[in-house]
Amino acid sequence: MTDPDPVPSTTIADRLRVAGPVRLFIGLVGVLVLFGPVVMWGLGARAGVIENRPFAAKPTLSQGFEFSDQFTAFFTDRLPIREDAVDVRRRVSQELFGEAPQAAATGGPVGAGSGVSGGTRYVEDRAQQVLPGADGWLYFGDDFVRACRPEQPVGTALTQIRRLSDALRAAGKNAAIAIVPDKSTIETQRLPEDLPERSCAADARKARYDGMAALRRPDVLDLRGALQRLQREVRGPVYVPTDTHVTTRGSAEYVRSVVAALDPEAARTARLVDQQEPFVYTGDLSVIQGQPQQVSEPTLLFDKPGVRKRPSEDVAPITGFPVTRLRATGTRRAPVVPGRTVWYGDSFTQRALPNIAAFFRDVWRVPELSNVGAAKEPEVAVDFLIDQIRQSQNVVLETVERNAFGRVGGSILNPEVVDRMVAELAKDPGVRSPGRP
Amino acid sequence: MVFASPIFLWAFLPGILIVLWTAPKKARNLLVSVASLVFYAWGAHEFVLLLLACMAVNFAAGQAIDSERMHANPRRRKAILIATIAFDLGILAVWKYGTFALQQIADVREAFGGDAGDVLQIALPIGISFFTFHHISYIVDVYRGVRGAQKKPLEFVTYIAMFPQLVAGPIVRYNEIADQLPNDAPRNRWDDFTAGLPRFMLGLFKKVVIADALAPIADASFSLNPDDMTTGAAWLGAIAYTLQIYFDFSGYSDMAIGLGRMIGFRLPENFARPYSAHSVTDFWRRWHISLSNWFRDYLYVPLGGNRKGGGRTYVNLAIVFLLTGLWHGSNWTFIVWGAYHGAWLLIERRTGLRTLPRERWMWPRRALTFLIVVVGWVFFRASDLGNAFDMLGAMFWPTGGALPPEVGVALGHQATFLLIAASFVVLLPGGFVLGRYLEFGEGRVADAARALTTAVAGPYAALLVAAGTFSPFLYFQF
C-alpha cells in the first residue's frame, strides 16, 4: 500500500517548544482540575444529597471484584463538585440553549472494536427530563414520552378501563375510576415553546379523553373537566409550578369529585377551610432538575362539623408497600361514605389523605402497583388489592394519566392485571354495596 | 473504568500521577504496570486473569523464539510462533466471536427445521481485540528479528497493559515503544505532564461535549421502526453517527496519547483528518491508522501484498478488509462494512483513482468519499442488516413525514449547534491535525490553543462528566 501522497509521518519527534509561562499555566490548571475535588474534600467540602436517595454504601473487600463497582458508586456520590456540575450543565442548557439538559451518553469509545451499538434511550432519558417552560414553570418529560410512545395503544388502555368498570359493577361495588390529568394536560399556557412532541401529545390526549367520554360510564370520572372548572374559578393554576402534582386546592377538588361520585350527600356537607398554616415541601420536578426549590401552599382541609376522625393506622403487607387505614364517624347531618372503602392510588392520593380522612367511615389506601415494594412482589400486591376490593363496598381506582395510558408495567391498566382482577372478582366478588343489585 | 468518568478523572489519574511524581524514576514501570492492571480489573473484573495469562504465554513464547537454541532450529521456532498466534487468535475467537458463531449455527439449524435452542452467551472482555493484536505484533516482530524479545517481565507488562492504550488503542507496535520502556530513559516529568495534558483535555472535550451530544440523534434514528423512518430522520442519523464516531474514537485516541505522554510515553497517532480524505484509500491512511498499519504489516504483506499480481492483490485486499470488519464486532453488519470498504478500495485500484494527484478534482472527490464513508457507517451502526437497509432505503428513497418525536427531542438546540459545528471538520484541510498541533505546535497561537484547551474546553468537559452521573431516583415521589 505505497502512497504517492503521504499523510504526515506518525513517528514522534519532540520538537516541543512551549513557552515557560504557558507551560506553568497549563501545569497549574491541570493540577487544579485533577486534584481540586480531592483537595476540597480534604478541606471539608462534602457533597449534598441531590438525587433523593441515600448515598451508596461503603464498599468492602469481601465483595470481591464487585468492590470496584461499589467503590465507584461510593466515590461518585461523594464527589464535592457534583452539585455545582449539575447546576452548570443546567444553566448552560437552559440559559444558553433554552432547553433541559440531555442525559449523558455513557460507556467507552464507539468504533473501537467493542462491537456494541447503542439503542435509543429516548424513552428512558426523556422520561427523566424536566422541561423548563415559561415563567419558571417545570414540566415532566415523562408526560410526553408516555403520550407519544405509549407502551400500549390508547384503545387497549380504554378497554381495560371498561373491563374494570364492568367487573366492579358486576361485583356490586360502588366504584369510581379516577384518571388524574397530567400537569401538561391542564397547565398548557406555559409549556416550552419548541416541544418536539407537541403534535403527537395533543393527538394522544384527544384520543384519551374522547375515548373516556365515549365509554359513558358514570364511574369513570372526568377529572380534567373538574380541574379546568377549578382553574376558571380560582383564576389561576391548579398545579404547582415546580412539582408534578396539583395544588392543595386542586387536591381537594380531586377528593371532592371522587366522593361526590360515590356518595353525593357526603360530598355536599363538607366545606374547605384554610388551616392558616403553610404546607411546605420541595417541588419534585425541582429535585429531578438538581435544583431543589421549596413550595409553600395554604393547608386546606375539609371540615365536616360533627365528624370525628380516628388516628390513621399503617400496615405493610409487603415491605415498602404501606397501606393506610383511615376511619371517621359521621352524623346524620354530616354523613360519611358508609361501609368499607378501598382507595387504590399513587402520590396524588397519598397527598390527599388528610382530606380523604374526613369523608369515609373506613377507607384503606393501597399504593400503586409501580410502588417500590409492589415491584418486588407484584403478584402479592395485586392479590392484596383484589382481597381489599372483595372486603369493600366502595372502590376507588386512581392513577395519573401518563401511567394509565402510557405504561403497562406497574399500571392498574396492565391487561394481565385486569385479567386477574376480572377473573377473581367473577369467582368471588365479596361484599356488595347496599345500593347495588 | 473509562477515561470520561469521575473515578478516573479524580481518583485514578491523580493517584497515579502523585505516585509517579514522588516515586523514584526507576519505579515507573512497576507503578504503571500495577496501576494498569488495577485499571483493567476495575472494569473487567476477573478477566484480568485472562489478560495475565495471555501476557504470560506471549512473554514466554518471545523468550523461546529469541533464544539461541531456537535460532538454530528454524522449524521449531516457526512452530512456536504459529502456536502462539493460534493461541492469541483462539482466545479472541472464543471470547469475542464464540456467541456469534453459535448463533449462526443455531440459525442454520432453525432454517432447516431444527430446534435453535439456547445460545451460550459468552461475555466479552474489554479490550481483548487490542491486547490480542499487541501480543501478535510483539511475537511476530520478535520472530522477524525487528526487535529482540523483551527480557524483563515488568517492561513487557508495561507495554501490553499500559492503561492509556489498553482498552481502546492506539495499537502500539512493540518496535514503536521498545526504546521508551527502560526506566533510565531521560525524561522530565513536568514536561511530560504539561505536554500531554492539553491533548488529553482536547480528547475529553471531543468525546464528552461533542460525541456524546450527537449520540442521541443517531441512537434515536437508528432505533426507529421502519414505519416511522423518514428521509430526514435517516440522513440526520447517518450524519450524526458519522460525526459521533469520529469525535468519540479520535477523542479517545487523543486522551490515550495525552495520557501516555503524561506518564512518559509517546504513543503513535491514530487519526489524521479522515473526513478530509479524497479517496477511500486515502481515508484508510487517516482513520484508525494504527489498525490499518497493523493489518498491512501482519496480514496484507505476509499474504503477498501487491507483489503477486493484480488478481492476488485484490484477493489479499478483500481478505484484509473482511477481517477488518470482523475485528470491529461480531455481527454481519461489521463484516458487510468491511467488505464495502474493501470493494471501494478495489474499484479505486482498478480504475487508477487512487493514484490521481490529490488536487485533481479535489472537492468533488472529497464530497464523494465522504458520502461513501457515511453510507458505510450506516452498516457499522445498524443493529442488523435489516436495520441498515431500512435506513439506506429511507436515505435514498424519499420518505416524507414529520420528524419522529425521538429524533426531534434528540435534535435539541445544543445538539443542533454541535452537529453544525462538528460538520465543519469535514471541510478542514487534510494536513492539519489539532491534537498534534497542540502537542508540537510552536508559537503564540499554539500556546494560546494549548492554554484555551486546558483551561476552558477540558474543565467544561470534566464538569459534564461529573454532571452526567446525576440520575435522581424518580419513584420516590410517584
Average pLDDT over residues A88-97: 88
Helices and strands, counts by H and E, chain A: 18, 11
Per CB-CB distance under 8 Å, the chain A contacts of B193 are 27, 30
User: Chains A, B: CB contacts under 8 A, how many?
Assistant: 289
Q: Mutation target for A interface from B470, B473, B475: give the one with most A CBs within 10 A.
A: B470
Cβ of A149 under 8 Å from any chain B Cβ?
A: yes
Candidate from B220, B415, B478 with C-beta closest to A346: B478
A328, A335 Cβ separation under 8 angstroms = no
The alpha carbon of residue A270 is apart from the nearest alpha carbon of chain B, in Å, by: 28
- Confidence band of A111 (pLDDT split at 50, 70, 90): low
Using DSSP, state whether A322 is helix, strand or coil. Answer: strand
Interatomic CA distance for residues A284 and A282, integer angstroms: 6
Given a cut of 50, is residue A4 above it in pLDDT? Answer: no
User: For B42, what's the count of Cα atoms within 13 Å in the CB-facing half-sphere?
Assistant: 21
Report the sign of the C-alpha dihedral through residues A211, A213, A218, A220, in that order. positive
Interatomic CA distance for residues A115 and B341, integer angstroms: 17
Using CA coordinates, name the residue in chain B closest to A15. Answer: B440
Cβ of A55 under 8 Å from any chain B Cβ?
A: no
Helices and strands, counts by H and E, chain B: 25, 0
Q: Do B197 and A26 touch (CB under 8 A)?
A: yes
Using CA coordinates, name the residue in chain A closest to B221. Answer: A120
Per CB-CB distance under 8 Å, the chain B contacts of A371 are 475
Given a cut of 80, is residue A16 above it in pLDDT? Answer: no
Q: Which of B169, B95, B163 is nearest to B130 (CA)?
A: B169
- How confident is the model over A304-346, as pLDDT tens digits? 888 988 888 888 778 888 899 999 999 888 899 999 999 999 9
| C-alpha dist (Å) from residue B124 to A243, B48, B87, B99, B100 | 43, 12, 17, 10, 11
Greatest Cα-to-Cα distance within chain B, rounded to the nearest angstrom: 76
Using DSSP, state whether A377 is helix, strand or coil. Answer: coil
Q: Do B451 and A22 touch (CB under 8 A)?
A: yes
Given a cut of 80, is residue A110 above it in pLDDT? Answer: no
Among left, alpha and beta (phi > 0; psi -120 to 50; other), residue B443 is: left
Candidate from A93, A96, A148 with C-beta closest to B405: A148
* Residue B313, all three cell numbers: 492483490
Per CB-CB distance under 8 Å, the chain A contacts of B11 are 38, 75
The alpha carbon of residue A279 is apart from the nearest alpha carbon of chain B, in Å, by: 16
* Residue B124, all three cell numbers: 466479552
* Residue B470, all three cell numbers: 446525576
- Confidence band of A402 (pLDDT split at 50, 70, 90): very high
pLDDT averages per 10-residue partition of chain B, 478 residues:
93 95 90 94 91 95 86 87 95 88 86 80 84 94 91 93 91 89 81 93 94 91 91 96 93 94 93 92 94 93 86 91 91 94 93 80 90 96 94 93 88 92 82 82 88 94 90 51
pLDDT, averaged across chain A: 88
Residue at grid coordinates 409550578: A241
Residue at grid coordinates 442525559: A103
The whole-number pLDDT of residue A11 equals 41
Given a cut of 90, is residue A10 above it in pLDDT? Answer: no
Average pLDDT over residues A156-163: 96
The alpha carbon of residue B373 is apart from the nearest alpha carbon of chain A, in Å, by: 14
- The percent of residues above 90 in pLDDT, for chain A, comes to 64
Per CB-CB distance under 8 Å, the chain A contacts of B330 are 115
Interatomic CA distance for residues A119 and B410, integer angstroms: 13
User: Which amino acid, A374?
Assistant: A
Q: Do B473 and A51 touch (CB under 8 A)?
A: yes
Provide the CA B359 distance to its chain's centre, in angstroms.
29
Per the annotation, the verdict on B328 as an active-site residue is yes
Q: Do B223 and A76 touch (CB under 8 A)?
A: no
If you write DSSP's letter for every residue of A236-276 in order, what string do you get? S-SB-TTSSSBPHHHHHHHHHHHHHHH-HHHHHT-EEEEEE
Given a cut of 50, is residue A158 above it in pLDDT? Answer: yes
DSSP class of A291: -
The alpha carbon of residue A138 is apart from the nearest alpha carbon of chain B, in Å, by: 15
Burial of B195 (0-12, 13-18, 19+ CB in 10 A): buried
Given a cut of 60, is residue A400 above it in pLDDT? Answer: yes
User: Which amino acid, A164?
Assistant: L
Interface of A with B in 228-257 (CB under 8 A): 244
Q: Which of A431, A433, A418 is nearest to A165 (CA)?
A: A418
The whole-number pLDDT of residue A18 equals 53
* Residue B439, all three cell numbers: 502537542
Candidate from A1, A10, A112 with C-beta closest to B249: A112
Burial of A216 (0-12, 13-18, 19+ CB in 10 A): exposed
Interatomic CA distance for residues A249 and A227, integer angstroms: 10
Using CA coordinates, name the residue in chain B closest to A78. Answer: B6
The whole-number pLDDT of residue B426 equals 75
Sequence-distant (6+) residues with CB within 8 A of A78 are: A41, A46, A47, A55
The whole-number pLDDT of residue A118 equals 56
Cβ of A72 under 8 Å from any chain B Cβ?
A: yes
Cβ of A61 under 8 Å from any chain B Cβ?
A: no
Cross-strand pairs, A174 = A394
- The percent of residues above 70 in pLDDT, for chain A, comes to 91
Q: Provide ipTM, 2 decimals.
A: 0.88
User: For B93, what's the count of Cα atoms within 13 Å in the CB-facing half-sphere?
Assistant: 9
Phi and psi, residue B271, nearest 5° = -140, 140
Interatomic CA distance for residues A256 and A240, integer angstroms: 19
Burial of A373 (0-12, 13-18, 19+ CB in 10 A): middle
> Of A25-39, A71-85, B13-27, B97-111, which range is least confident?
B97-111
Average pLDDT over residues A350-367: 94
Q: Do A149 and B405 touch (CB under 8 A)?
A: yes
Residue at grid coordinates 506553568: A24
Interatomic CA distance for residues B263 and B276, integer angstroms: 32
The alpha carbon of residue A268 is apart from the nearest alpha carbon of chain B, in Å, by: 30
Candidate from A10, A104, A125 with C-beta closest to B269: A10
